[in-house]
Structure 1
Amino acid sequence: MVRDYGMEEPLFVILITFFILAWVSCLLRAWVKLGVTHKVTIDDYLMLCGIIFYTGYSASALCGVTHGIGTQGEGMTLDEASIGLRAWWICEMLYAPVTLSVRTSVAIFLLKIAVQRIHRRVIAVVIVLFWTTTIPLFFVAVFQCRPISYFWMQPFPTVPRGTCMDGHVIFIVSIVHSATSACCDWTLGILPVFMLWKVRLNVKTKLTLFILLSMGIL
């Protein structure tokens, strides 16, 4: 039986809210690509992969929340704790492919419309940076415990003992990834300003294009 742990938790509301926003955005993109421009490109397929991974991520996170993750764990059974931890392990595993798919999609879109060599080089550097920091994060998330199942079997005192990675390693990898991701997001968000700087358009049109091209920062 699933207890009503997460229904009143802010985390549950946040997960549902962003899941709905993500799908609304994705469906609007699909409508434009399929119904208006009639052209689907590689960045669209990457975004599709991103929403699929994010759906799995959200489902696992909601499962974890409804099994006590995010609470003090009072009254939680060992089975509930194990289910919640397994769901959270899946979340951590899926986080990397979600971010890679979405950021690569945005970067490739900007790369297609970038004309100057310096802008294309900046985008290429951004792609390399978040790939080289996200891939290690993925492997750390997946193999942080040996055996892997020990991550969610820890609550049971009778299971064979395992080992988990030092928390400081996970912390450092996460901080490096977060800092790099933030820098990459801001770079991709601000870059359209420089890409449009010398384009012969009126200020209103430039501002509109800048806002549209910079939405990837969200």
Structure 2
Amino acid sequence: MLNGRSEAIVTATSVFLALSLVTVGLRCFVRARIVRAFGRDDWTMVAAMALNLGFAICTLVGCSYGMGQKMKDILPHPGYNRRALLCWWLGQVFYIITCVVAKMSIIISLLRITISRAHILILYAAMGLTLAVGLLFFFFTIFECKPVDYFWNRSTTKPGSCIDTDILIAIAYTYSVGAAVADFTIGILPIFIIWSLRMNARTKMAIAGILGIGCIASAAVIVRIPFIHSYKDPEFFYATYQISIWSNVEAGLGITAGSLTTLRPLVRFLRDGSSASRSHQRQPGSFPLSGNMPMPKGLSRRSKPEEGGEDSRRLWTGMADDEYQGVTTTVITGSHPTKRGESEESLTV
């Protein structure tokens, strides 16, 4: 039973679920295969993706039972209203945990490269705010009704009661404002963190831009706020379709933004793979230096580039200590002026 607003919910959910799945999959490939440094932030983001998958499934199944529809279209189908309410309730639980865990992953990543004590305190404050408003909304959502299952069984003769809807709306507003503040913090602060690292300006601008995508997730939270009042609308499923859409957008964008920050090494990996054939074509009078070929006498290997600490180098360039020996530098003999080679350029891109 998909039509009208149900179709809009399904479309938005499917698009942002696919986007987050692709970026998390690429993140896992980069961190496990290229960088070989799968850390706590990566495991946390994988957990967030699993939770987001549960959220999306609840939304999609709920739409098949009437989410986004008017009651006159749902009531003729026995059991649909109950199942749609159950999917809504489960989806909100998954949504809250997904967003909190995704923010935790991003904050853990930033703490790994943060040097300034002030920046560290700000990140911990953002973490505390996220946990506080998340737990508040989480427990109010779960225990909105007494007994808990009365939320989706209220249309039956089963006895029970729910808290005043105005209280839940106030809690939802509190959560949304807190989430927006935390998102803006972890979206803007990286610009100042990256600028203190020893990287060239082009790299800093690229990384800061990617990290700033986190601000888009906060925009989704803000867009969602005006629709919170629809919780008390008699046509609950029909009126709250915007909440369903923007909740999925927020979760998907948060995971995508957090994963995009780890994909720079993938660009290097793909570029090096595409230029591998060219690297085997030696120019006359040139000597390729790598860990796989003997080094001519009198020539020394280039030292590792310094771009901040080891953690920041691995995070943004994707080159671990034992991978530098695979870098190929070509030395041209003769009287021509020395030019910067392609492989040297790749160290700083």
TM-score over 0.5 for the pair: yes
Q: Which has the larger radius of gyration?
A: 2
Partner of 1:64: 62
2:164 is aligned with 1:166: yes
How far 1:8 sits from its partner (Å)? 5.8
Partner of 1:21: 19
The 5-angstrom pairing of residues 120-139 of structure 1 reads 120-139=120-139
Task: Report the CA distance shift for 1:25/1:153 in structure 2 as closer, same or farther (over 3 A).
Answer: same
Q: How many residues align?
A: 214
The 5-angstrom pairing of residues 162-201 of structure 1 reads 162-201=160-199
Residue in structure 1 matching 2:34, options 33, 36, 57: 36
User: CA–CA distance in 2 between the matches of 1:6 and 1:52?
Assistant: 28
Task: Report the CA distance shift for 1:78/1:186 in structure 2 as closer, same or farther (over 3 A).
Answer: same
User: CA–CA distance in 1 between the matches of 2:179 and 2:5?
Assistant: 31
Partner of 1:214: 212
How far 1:174 sits from its partner (Å)? 0.8
RMSD of aligned Cα (Å): 1.7
Aligned-partner residue type, residue 91 of structure 2: C
How far 1:161 sits from its partner (Å)? 2.4
Partner of 1:111: 111
User: CA–CA distance in 2 between the matches of 1:91 and 1:123?
Assistant: 28
How far 1:5 sits from its partner (Å)? 4.7
Aligned-partner residue type, residue 113 of structure 1: I
Deviations 1:151-179 (A, max 9, x none): 111223xx222101111111111111111
Aligned-partner residue type, residue 27 of structure 2: R
Partner of 1:154: 154
How far 1:201 sits from its partner (Å)? 3.9
Matched residue SS, 1:148: coil
CA contact (8 A) 1:119 1:195 kept: yes
If asked which structure has higher relative contact order (CA below 8 Å, sep 6+), I would say 2
Task: Report the CA distance shift for 1:63/1:128 in structure 2 as closer, same or farther (over 3 A).
Answer: same
TM-score by length of 1: 0.92
Aligned-partner residue type, residue 147 of structure 1: P
How far 1:114 sits from its partner (Å)? 0.3
Structure 2: state its 5+ residue gaps.
218-349
Structure 1: state its 5+ residue gaps.
none
Matched residue SS, 1:172: helix
Partner of 1:55: 53
Task: Report the CA distance shift for 1:152/1:177 in structure 2 as closer, same or farther (over 3 A).
Answer: same
Structure with the largest fraction of helix: 1
CA contact (8 A) 1:6 1:67 kept: no
More divergent stretch after superposition (202-211 vs 46-55) = 202-211
More divergent stretch after superposition (141-150 vs 193-202) = 193-202
TM-score by length of 2: 0.59
